[in-house]
Amino acid sequence: MKTIEQINDDIKEHKSSGNSVKQVSDVYHTFEDLYKRELVLFRLISSLCPKLCFKTLKHYDEENDPMFDGDFMVGIYTPLGPASYHFKLKYLDAFSHLEFQEHGPRYEGYTEEEKNEKINYITNLINSGHTEDDILDMILQNSNLDDSLKPIKKKSFKGQDPIDIYVDPYHGKTKINIKR
């Protein structure tokens, strides 16, 4: 039986040979399934907290860290720092509810686990009664803000109305009605 390291090496080799790994599976889910689920879930988060979220076509330091070919980035600002995701441009319309930002925030080198912690922190704040505006104030009052967060200071947040959300897990569709 192969070790996890050997399996990961096989996947890297397969991918570096120009082959797709979208259909690699743990029997229950493919990489493609998990990628689409991540997209749907972040679409939900960004629809519920649009004041805290962004989309962009450029990284913060585009000269030394160019955007991945054919990708865009979406993310959320949290009191613990930003968390972001890269998706293929063909999914850009899924985030039409977000304003474009000139570039993303400075990348802090966070891990996937740290990204999850940041998003869980926002969830805990909301579950304990904090509003999106409360969280925005926490972020803006943080003394560690750098110029990569300037776009969040410029956003206009008036007129945010309720959102109706329906997720169809069988067909991979999300219907989000933002009443404006």
Ordered by start, the domain boundaries in the chain are 29-178
Q: What is the amino acid identity at position 167?
A: V
Q: What is the pLDDT of residues 59-81, one digit of tens each?
A: 888 788 888 888 999 999 999 98
Q: What are phi and psi of 24, to 5 degrees?
A: -60, 135
Helix (H, G, I), strand (E, B) or coil at 46: helix
* 71-76 and 173-178 strand pairing: unpaired
Strand partners, 73: 56, 86
Predicted local confidence at residue 118, as pLDDT: 93
Report which of residues 127 and 156 the model is more confident about: 127
From the CB of residue 26, how many other CB atoms can be counted at a distance below 10 Å? 9
Rounded CA separation 54/83 (Å): 10
Element (H, E) at 164: strand 163-168
pTM metric for this prediction: 0.72
Helix (H, G, I), strand (E, B) or coil at 8: helix
Q: Can you list the positions of beta strands (E) in 47-93?
A: 53-56, 71-76, 83-88
Percent of the chain surpassing pLDDT 70:
78
